[in-house]
Amino acid sequence: SLSDKLDKAFHVLKGHGQITEVNVAETLKEVRRALVDADVNFKIAKNFTNTVKEKALGQDVLNTLKPNQMMVKIVKDELTELMGGDAEGVDLSGQPSVILMSGLQGSGKTTFSGKLANFLKNKKTKKPLLVACDVYRPAAIDQLHVVGEQINVDVFSNKEEKNPVKIAEAAIAHAKENGHNVVILDTAGRLAIDEQMMNEISEIHQTIKPQETLFVVDAMTGQDAVNTAKAFNDVLDFNGVILTKLDGDTRGGAAISIKSVVDKPIKFIGTGEKMDAIDVFHPSRMADRILGMGDVVSLVERAQEQYDEEEARKIQKKIAKNKFGFDDFLKQIQQVKKMGSMKDLMGMIPGAGKMMKNMDIDDDAFKHIEAIIHSMTPDERSNPNVINASRKRRIGKGSGTSVQEVNQLLKQFTQMSKMMKMMQGGGGKKMMQMMKN
Ligand code: GDP
Ligand code: MG
């Protein structure tokens, strides 16, 4: 894998006290090979390693860092830069705001339309409308209705109408009448770049003048993703790229190349088939992912700074006696928060990305979690088992959340207790040991 290769590349530098022309050349050759293997365009990979080389050679190796750590940092910073700096959102200023999806068939347009609608709906002030503009496949219209039902978002369609522009116009009128402030146009794609598809999407784009035109592309198609992005970019002035299917072992090379080839920001990524498998694109996290190895060094440093051994010992005792409660959980959260964001933290542990996804942790969730725990009585905190349906309703009300969220927290709490028990069985120590090496 790419991360193994990069690991090997950085190994070459280990044990050297300085970054020199000789050791850096060897490493960069490996880095370049690794990037090309991950479907990064050769020219881009070459430019990239040249930039890294200049930076590396011009830099004094800090006392506290080994040359290989220094190189990891330079490579990561450069990758982040290459993928576009800060995360960018979508323009929601329209009345309604119209978002047009484009891309090949199977790239994930319909799925992403649903995910985005769900993402916006959860922001409370947005009332999205999904619109089926795929006029060729009746099944595609049905698919969008299924998606809409899943996430409880209205879907506009008209199987009699064969002109997608007319459907879009009718949908926008419908949105205005019914108080929808976001209109998401799901369109038809083809299996390959094709004139009719391009004409159709351009016509929708020119007539409707959407606030956002998003190009959806399957990251699993690797180098093809770049070619497709280029072809669409030549015809359609889209505002942003959506990179789907970045779950599993998908290589991240497409993300590196796309931005430099089309010069459009990647806005969101899709990480699964479910409606909540959507993430705002963060270049630095993507760089971590591509590097795979994670920023182990700074994790260890931060963990050591903040980790209160005494507190940890107390908690371990409680876990052992099955006395670990929500008060302790709250303390742990505060501990973790001191260390940085949960996602960043997990992202630093090699291989933890998958686990993180299963646990469904996000930074905003902390606020809700804390609110929920604060709404529990001391007894409920130490004996979560007593929390029955009516207590859940009370807690939900008190914390301004829902019974569903309370349930979710209870579930996560059980999961976390289990995990901590597992870590206690020596796994945790092993992990810390591993990270120090
Ligand atoms: P469309 O033809 O562009 O509308 O593509 P669809 O939305 O119908 O998606 C095609 C297939 O890809 C479906 O089976 C989706 O479930 C799947 N899919 C879409 N996005 C993702 C993703 O982020 N991860 C995974 N694993 N599958 C996805
Ligand atoms: Mg579709």
Calculate how far, in angstroms, residue 70's C-alpha sits from the geometric centre of ligand 1. 39
Give yes or no for residue 106 CB within 6 A of ligand 1.
Answer: yes
Task: Specify binding-site residues for GTP.
Answer: 103-110, 186-190, 244-247
**Would the pLDDT of 121 be above 90?**
yes
Taking Cα atoms as reference points, which of 363, 377, 358 lies closest to residue 415?
358
């990561």: which residue's tokens?
76
Calculate how far, in angstroms, residue 104's C-alpha sits from the geometric centre of ligand 2. 9
Q: Is the ipTM of this complex over 0.95?
A: yes
Give yes or no for residue 247 CB within 6 A of ligand 1.
Answer: yes
Q: What tens digit of pLDDT does each residue of 143-152 get?
A: 999 999 999 9
Q: What ligand is nearest to the CA atom of residue 139? A: 2
Calculate how far, in angstroms, residue 107's C-alpha sits from the geometric centre of ligand 1. 6
**Would the pLDDT of 55 be above 90?**
no
Q: What ligand is nearest to the CA atom of residue 216? A: 1
Write the DSSP string, 101-129. Answer: EE--TTSSHHHHHHHHHHHHHTTSS--EE
Give yes or no for residue 375 CB within 6 A of ligand 1.
Answer: no
Residue 34: pLDDT band (50, 70, 90) is: confident
Calculate how far, in angstroms, residue 89's C-alpha sits from the geometric centre of ligand 1. 22
d(CA 176, CA 165): 17
Give yes or no for residue 272 CB within 6 A of ligand 1.
Answer: yes
Task: Specify binding-site residues.
Answer: 103-110, 186-190, 244-247
Q: What is the pLDDT of residue 68?
A: 61
Give yes or no for residue 111 CB within 6 A of ligand 1.
Answer: yes
Mutate-to-test residue for ligand 1 from 131, 133, 273, highest number of ligand atoms within 8 A of CB: 273
CA-104 nearest atom, ligand 1:
3
d(CA 76, CA 237): 30
Q: What is the pLDDT of residue 59?
A: 62
Q: What tens digit of pLDDT does each residue of 131-184 get?
A: 999 998 889 999 999 999 999 999 999 999 999 999 999 999 999 999 999 999
Q: What tens digit of pLDDT does each residue of 196-250 get?
A: 899 999 999 999 999 999 999 998 887 788 889 999 999 999 999 999 998 866 6
Is 75 in contact with 31 (CB distance < 8 Å)?
yes
Report H helices in 38-125.
42-57, 67-82, 109-121
Domains delineated in the chain? 2-82 (1.20.120.140), 97-286 (3.40.50.300), 294-436 (1.10.260.30)
Is 13 in contact with 27 (CB distance < 8 Å)?
yes
Residue 113: pLDDT band (50, 70, 90) is: very high
Taking Cα atoms as reference points, which of 87, 96, 86, 88 lies closest to residue 117?
96
Query: Strand, coil or helix: what is 214?
Result: strand
Calculate how far, in angstroms, residue 112's C-alpha sits from the geometric centre of ligand 1. 8
What is the number of other CB atoms lying within 10 angstroms of the CB of residue 5?
17
